[in-house]
Structure 1
Amino acid sequence: MTISEKVAYLKGLAEGLNLDTEKSKEGKLISVMIGILEEIGLSIEDLEENTQALGEEIDVLSDDLSDVEDVVFDEDEDEDEDDEDYDDDWFEVECPTCEEPLVIDDKALADGMIQCPNCHDKFALDLSDDTVEADEE
């Protein structure tokens, strides 16, 4: 039973008692109190309706935000996949002179000669056995 229904029941009880709302002080008081309760009941029902509507709007916004998050995070995952593909074009070798790790690309690998940026020593790459090894020259 809603608050408005309870107030209506209370109003019906007061009318059933045939309270004299014109002459009796108690009757006037009860009549005014029932009027106030009716207004409060209507206000509460309006608040409940507004709360339900806001809750539905929040659900819609939450779904939209979830869609946005999916798009944003999917782009990050795609970039990571691109980075993995990009890593295939780079190789790491160690300088035979200073033992500094060097990262080289396909072009440097195809040239066959590498100059270490650390010690400036030049060396050739041995591509036998599908491994990249440095041979000093």
Structure 2
Amino acid sequence: MELNKKAAYLQGLVDGLGIDDTTKEGKIIKAMSALLGEMAEVIESVDEDLSRAYDQINDLSDELEDLEADLYEEDEDGESEDAEDEDTDDDDDAKDDDIASEPFYEVACPNCGETVYVSEDDLDAGEANCAHCGVTFEVALEGDGEDDAEDGPVQYEVTCPECGTTSVFEEDELLDGAPKCPNCGKPLDFEVTEE
């Protein structure tokens, strides 16, 4: 029996009992009976809307299956588009492997201080670009400047016996006189012997 028919049957029973709707109990029973009838109508309407929605979803699902079949059907050569995509993906993976095997060096950007990864190509070019701030700066391996270091002044590391601070002095400073510790100010005693 449908919900509307059940609600109508209950209302008929209430009416058949001859309940006096002027009493409190009678008013409540009549109001509940009317409410059941209204609820049955609303539920039936919602049920119809839900059935229509399911039908539309099924129609859309069928259309989607047809579209997928059209998109993925085989080419004239007999090779599917999926196979072509896989070949392209393999080529991309091979390129990624080449990039991953290339050595990179971490360098701090002189402008913003962020870490920049420098490749061999960047080192060959002598400059790198910071992805964070966009500044282009010079790069070189530490060993690249050895020839320049040979032409520059000779430097010595000296440790202060009083405070233990290690300082770097050029040979000319040491030969000119007794340098002092930049930390505690005590004179540093040592001899520079020429080889």
Letter in 2 for 1:69: E
Match of 1:28 in 2: 27
2:41 aligned with 1:42: yes
Deviations 1:106-135 (A, max 9, x none): xxxxxxxxxxxxxxxxxxxxxxxxxxxxxx
Identical aligned residues as a percent = 40
Moved over 4 A (4+): none
2:32 aligned with 1:58: no
2:47 aligned with 1:78: no
Q: What is the rounded CA distance, in whole Å, between the counterparts of 1:59 and 1:45 in structure 2?
A: 21
Letter in 2 for 1:62: S
TM-score, scaled relative to structure 2: 0.39
Structure 2 residue runs of 5 or longer lacking an equivalent are 81-195
Q: 1:82 to 1:12 in 2, by over 3 A?
A: closer
Q: What is the rounded CA distance, in whole Å, between the counterparts of 2:79 and 2:10 in structure 1?
A: 72
Deviations 1:63-113 (A, max 9, x none): 110110110110xx2166258xxxxxxxxxxxxxxxxxxxxxxxxxxxxxx
Taking the TM superposition and a 5 Å limit, the aligned residue runs for 1:98-109 are none
Computing the radius of gyration from Cα coordinates, the structure with the larger value is 2
> What SS class does the counterpart of residue 81 from structure 1 fall into?
coil
Match of 1:9 in 2: 9
Deviations 1:41-62 (A, max 9, x none): 0110011000100011011101
Q: What is the rounded CA distance, in whole Å, between the counterparts of 2:13 and 2:48 in structure 1?
A: 28
Q: What is the rounded CA distance, in whole Å, between the counterparts of 2:68 and 2:16 in structure 1?
A: 61
Q: 1:13 to 1:78 in 2, by over 3 A?
A: same
> What SS class does the counterpart of residue 13 from structure 1 fall into?
helix
Match of 2:121 in 1: none
Tell me the matched-pair count: 80
Q: What is the rounded CA distance, in whole Å, between the counterparts of 1:19 and 1:82 in structure 2?
A: 80
Match of 2:68 in 1: 69
Structure with the larger RCO, 1 or 2 (CA within 8 Å, 6+ apart) = 1
TM-score, scaled relative to structure 1: 0.55
- Specify which structure has the higher proportion of helix: 1
Q: What is the rounded CA distance, in whole Å, between the counterparts of 2:7 and 2:70 in structure 1?
A: 52
Q: 1:18 to 1:79 in 2, by over 3 A?
A: same
Letter in 1 for 2:65: S
- What is the Cα deviation at residue 38 of structure 1? 1.0
